[in-house]
Amino acid sequence: MNTRQFDIATLILRSSLGIMFIAHGLLKVLVFTLPGTVQFFESVGFPGWMAYVVAYSEIGGGVLLIAGVYTRAVALAFIPILLGSLFVHIGNGWLFTNANGGWEYPAFLTVITVVVALLGSGKFAVSLPFLNKGAVTA
């Protein structure tokens, strides 16, 4: 694989993951509503206030992933959120089409998020020189 293909693949993977996180964050805010999401979080044993953190992290982090800003840090920050989702769905069986959703989708998203964390932003990312001042790049 040449460098250009690698950079395009990184862009596609990072952007699609960002879009997915934005969609899930907006789902919590606009469809389930934040009070409804709080109620769900509490029903599965998480503190209700975490619903706000998760929803807005998904939206803001998704935007950052699409832009390629702090990609590794954002992806790593999503891993505990995804593991929480995996915890919620683990008892529902493998397939996400099972009642209450299985654990296949959260597990896959966790793996993809780890891959994005390992890959980083790639060449096609928003360049913010003031963020990279003194940074060492490979």
Identify the band that residue 131 occupies on the pLDDT scale cut at 50, 70 and 90.
low
Q: CA 135, CA 113: separation in Å to the nearest integer?
A: 23
Can you give the pLDDT at residue 48?
Answer: 98
The domains of the chain are located at 3-123
The rounded distance, in Å, linking the Cα atoms of 61 and 89 is 22
If DSSP codes are grouped into helix, strand and coil, which group holds residue 125? coil
Confidence of residue 130 (pLDDT cuts 50, 70, 90): low
Q: How many whole angstroms from its chain centre is CA 71?
A: 10
pLDDT in tens, 82-101: 999 999 999 999 988 888 88
Q: Give the SS3 label for residue 91.
A: helix
**What is the pTM for the complete model shown?**
0.88
